[in-house]
Amino acid sequence: MPDLKGRRRRAAPAEPAERGSVTAEFALALPAVVLVLLLVLGLGVHGAARVSVEEGARTAARELARGTSADTASRLAREAAGQDSSVQLSHEGEYAVVTLRRPVQILGLLELTVDHEAEAHVRIEQLPGAP
């Protein structure tokens, strides 16, 4: 700030009691920032796993509708959703039902696991003359 004669004043040196306060504040804020980053990464993993489970169920249902075997549909569902997923195939009348479950670990440090489940229904069409 200029004084009356147009010269700039120098800032007063920090008092000894205030020295290092920025470092202390940073040290207090750093764990919170790291925790927020881990939470955002965990939610990203959660979302990506959810999408892969739904894609696996749709893939198996689509293959069943095309007439492929149940073993092939299960294998393709596991390839899309992950090998640790479980696939259950059933029939409800003229519809095939694919249920896919996969455990997902959200935060690696806390080992919080969530089971994702997706279900897909598809109508099985019989071609004329097919058994």
User: β-pairing, 86-92 with 95-107?
Assistant: antiparallel
Give residue limits of the domains in the chain: 25-123
Separation of first and last alpha carbons in the chain: 94
More confident residue, 7 or 100: 100
Kindly indicate the confidence band of residue 62, based on its pLDDT and cuts at 50, 70 and 90. very high
For residue 27, the one-letter residue type is A
Which one has a higher pLDDT value, 130 or 38?
38
* Alpha helices for the chain (secondary structure H): 21-66, 70-81
Q: Is it the case that residue 1 has pLDDT exceeding 60?
A: no
User: What is the pTM (predicted TM-score) of this model?
Assistant: 0.69
98, 61 Cβ separation under 8 angstroms: yes
Residue 104 has pLDDT above 60, yes or no: yes
Q: Higher model confidence: residue 109 or residue 63?
A: 63
pLDDT at 24: 81
Q: What pLDDT sits at residue 118?
A: 93
In this prediction, residue 128 carries a pLDDT of 52
Given this model, what pLDDT does residue 100 score? 94
pLDDT value, residue 10? 67
